[in-house]
């Protein structure tokens, strides 16, 4: 028994616990600044209509820049085991993705009749800096230095807070976010190695890297679409802005918890790429149990904190929100837990298989939510999201027990 206790208290295990604390701390600080400081300030300064437009632009940024940066991030991390470490290949891909994402965003600005020289320039800057922020995390994932990862997100948060002053002076809300993203990029430039010259030198690995990125990109794109499409679907089907507001408030704390998927997954994949063993049924059972415990604790914490936070931030909406609180939060918790399981399965099942899994989930999600909303309005919408994400969780659990166990890095796509 004493030997097991000593093993648990080893320096390596202490490092893993500290890394988890740093990673969650980074996400907590970042999301608190966004949800409790930046977004409320945007709403007060812009008003309801312009704030809604800003949120729609931010959703597009999250889907395009977030997906691109995350996909290249994962590909570079997984490429370490294959000797694909040259920055030039990844920078070329990021440049191409950034240009394409900027074209999509500028087209959207024209559609909204908001395209001016200043908004176009700011959008392009926000697109590239956000994409680079998602990508640059790989610096700390490769080295498993999650203390610096926390500093990285603290700098982003400080930049966002300071950027509110730029917004107040200029009236341009995008400057708030650009400042935070730029601080993070500069931090990695000075303290890391992934942004060292030659910046755009192509190697023989470019095509295999593009192939690897492809399925990760498509999987992440599907994931982001389902994550950000809930309010769009609800408004499109019901035409009721109040219903959208009610759901947003009810799921707010749950969404914050679900965003912890990213930092936790960063730790998981960072260690799994070095793991040479198999995903046995016993190990998978332990992973499922740990994820469920974490999810249960998260649900209890959200149910405790949400009523307090809602009464502080949205006192006029308490009555409308409370009936939907539990199912809205539980739906986000299922999304969070299944996201953690999917990162483990990415390591052992490969990018291609995960893409098809996520594709099936997207079809199931949209079908379930559309039918539920048509039949039950807001109530049907909230419960159908819970059902859709619960199905994703149980499907991931079953998938982990199926098929041949692998001990290699994810397959080539």
pLDDT in 10s for each residue of the chain, 413 residues: 455 445 444 556 666 677 777 777 777 788 888 888 888 788 778 776 677 677 778 888 988 998 999 888 888 887 766 666 677 788 898 999 999 999 999 998 897 788 899 999 999 999 999 999 999 988 887 777 778 888 899 999 999 999 999 999 999 999 999 999 999 999 998 888 888 777 777 777 788 878 778 877 887 888 788 777 666 666 567 666 566 667 777 877 777 666 665 556 656 655 665 666 677 788 888 888 888 888 888 888 888 988 888 888 777 778 888 888 899 899 888 988 888 888 788 777 776 777 788 888 888 888 988 898 888 888 898 899 999 999 999 999 998 888 654 444 444 43
Based on the domain organization, do 389 and 295 belong to the same domain? yes
| Distance in angstroms (rounded) separating the CA atoms of residues 331 and 359 | 19
CB atoms inside a 10 Å sphere around CB 377: 15
Helix (DSSP H) and strand (DSSP E) numbers for the chain: 16, 0
pLDDT score for 272: 61
Based on the domain organization, do 388 and 263 belong to the same domain? yes
Cα-Cα-Cα-Cα dihedral of 57, 60, 62, 65, to 10°? -110
Is 59 contained in some domain? yes
Closest CA to 135 of 188, 197, 82: 188
| Distance in angstroms (rounded) separating the CA atoms of residues 87 and 91 | 6
| Distance in angstroms (rounded) separating the CA atoms of residues 401 and 97 | 36
Based on the domain organization, do 221 and 261 belong to the same domain? no
φ and ψ of 269, to 5 deg: -70, -30
Cβ-contact 114, 54 below 8 angstroms: no
Is 235 contained in some domain? no
| Distance in angstroms (rounded) separating the CA atoms of residues 216 and 230 | 22
Based on the domain organization, do 257 and 135 belong to the same domain? no
Q: In 205-350, where does DSSP find H-type helix?
A: 206-228, 230-238, 241-258, 261-272, 281-313, 318-321, 325-349
Based on the domain organization, do 395 and 312 belong to the same domain? yes
Is 2 contained in some domain? no
Based on the domain organization, do 167 and 302 belong to the same domain? no
Based on the domain organization, do 218 and 264 belong to the same domain? no
pLDDT score for 172: 93
* Residue at a domain's end among 228, 259, 288: 228
Is 237 contained in some domain? no
User: Cis before residue 142, ω within 30 degrees of 0?
Assistant: no
* Residue at a domain's end among 200, 228, 256: 228
The two tokens of residue 231 are 């309010």
The CA-CA-CA angle for residues 92, 98, 103, to 5°, reads 135
Cβ-contact 190, 197 below 8 angstroms: no
Is 241 contained in some domain? no
| Distance in angstroms (rounded) separating the CA atoms of residues 115 and 407 | 51
Cβ-contact 253, 309 below 8 angstroms: yes
Based on the domain organization, do 139 and 267 belong to the same domain? no
Based on the domain organization, do 385 and 285 belong to the same domain? yes
Classify 113 as helix, strand or coil: coil
Is 128 contained in some domain? yes
Query: Would you give the distance in Å from CA 368 to the centre of its chain?
Result: 22
Is 270 contained in some domain? yes
Based on the domain organization, do 56 and 173 belong to the same domain? yes
The two tokens of residue 221 are 């794109």
The CA-CA-CA angle for residues 112, 69, 187, to 5°, reads 110
* Residue at a domain's end among 228, 258, 274: 228
pLDDT score for 25: 78
pLDDT score for 411: 41
Cβ-contact 246, 321 below 8 angstroms: yes
For the chain, first and last CA: distance in Å?
45
Is 233 contained in some domain? no
pLDDT score for 221: 85
The two tokens of residue 115 are 């395209």
Cβ-contact 275, 305 below 8 angstroms: no
Tally of structural domains, the chain: 2
Based on the domain organization, do 224 and 292 belong to the same domain? no
Based on the domain organization, do 211 and 133 belong to the same domain? yes
Which own/partner pairs from 249-252 qualify as long-range (CB within 8 Å, at least 24 positions apart)?
A: 249/310, 249/314, 249/317, 249/321, 250/306, 250/321, 250/324, 250/325, 250/328, 250/329, 250/382, 251/328, 251/329, 251/331, 251/332, 252/35, 252/306, 252/309, 252/310
Task: State whether the Cα torsion 9-10-13-14 is positive or negative.
Answer: positive
pTM above 0.75, yes or no: no
pLDDT score for 95: 93
321: containing domain: 247-413
């Amino acid at each position: 028994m004493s030997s097991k206790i000593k093993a648990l208290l080893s320096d390596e295990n202490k490092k893993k616990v500290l890394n988890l604390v740093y990673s969650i701390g980074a996400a907590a600080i970042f999301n608190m600044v966004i949800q409790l400081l930046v977004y409320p300030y945007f709403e007060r300064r812009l008003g309801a209509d312009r704030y809604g437009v800003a949120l729609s632009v931010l959703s597009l940024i999250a889907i395009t820049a977030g997906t691109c940066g995350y996909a290249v991030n994962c590909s570079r991390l997984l490429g370490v085991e294959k000797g694909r470490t040259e920055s030039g290949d990844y920078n070329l891909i990021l440049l191409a993705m950034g240009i394409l994402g900027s074209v999509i965003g500028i087209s959207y600005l024209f559609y909204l009749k908001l395209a001016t020289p200043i908004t176009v320039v700011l959008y392009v800057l926000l697109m590239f800096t956000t994409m680079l922020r998602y990508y640059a995390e790989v610096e700390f994932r490769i080295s498993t230095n999650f203390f610096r990862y926390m500093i990285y997100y603290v700098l982003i948060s400080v930049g966002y807070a300071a950027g509110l002053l730029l917004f107040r002076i200029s009236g341009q809300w995008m400057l708030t976010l650009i400042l935070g993203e730029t601080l993070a990029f500069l931090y990695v430039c000075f303290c890391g190695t992934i942004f060292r010259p030659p910046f755009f030198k192509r190697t023989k690995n470019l095509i295999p890297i593009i192939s690897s990125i492809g399925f990760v990109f498509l999987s992440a794109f599907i994931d982001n679409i389902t994550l950000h499409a809930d309010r769009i679907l609800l408004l499109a089907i019901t035409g009721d802005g109040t219903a959208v507001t009610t759901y947003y408030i009810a799921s707010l704390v749950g969404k914050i918890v679900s965003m912890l998927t990213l930092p936790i997954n960063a730790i998981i994949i960072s260690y799994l790429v070095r793991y040479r063993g198999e995903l046995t049924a016993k190990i998978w059972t332990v992973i499922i149990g740990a994820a469920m415990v974490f999810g249960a604790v998260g649900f209890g914490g959200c149910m405790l904190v949400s009523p307090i936070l809602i009464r502080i931030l949205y006192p006029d909406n308490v009555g409308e929100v409370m009936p939907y609180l539990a199912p809205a939060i539980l739906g986000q918790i299922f999304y969070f837990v299944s996201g953690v399981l999917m990162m483990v399965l990415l390591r052992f099942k490969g990018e291609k298989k995960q893409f098809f899994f996520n594709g099936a989930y997207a079809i199931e999600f949209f079908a379930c939510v559309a039918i539920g909303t048509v039949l039950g309005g807001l109530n049907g919408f909230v419960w159908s999201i819970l059902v859709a994400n619960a199905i994703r969780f149980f499907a991931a659990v079953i998938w982990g027990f199926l098929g041949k166990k692998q001990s290699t890095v994810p397959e080539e796509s």
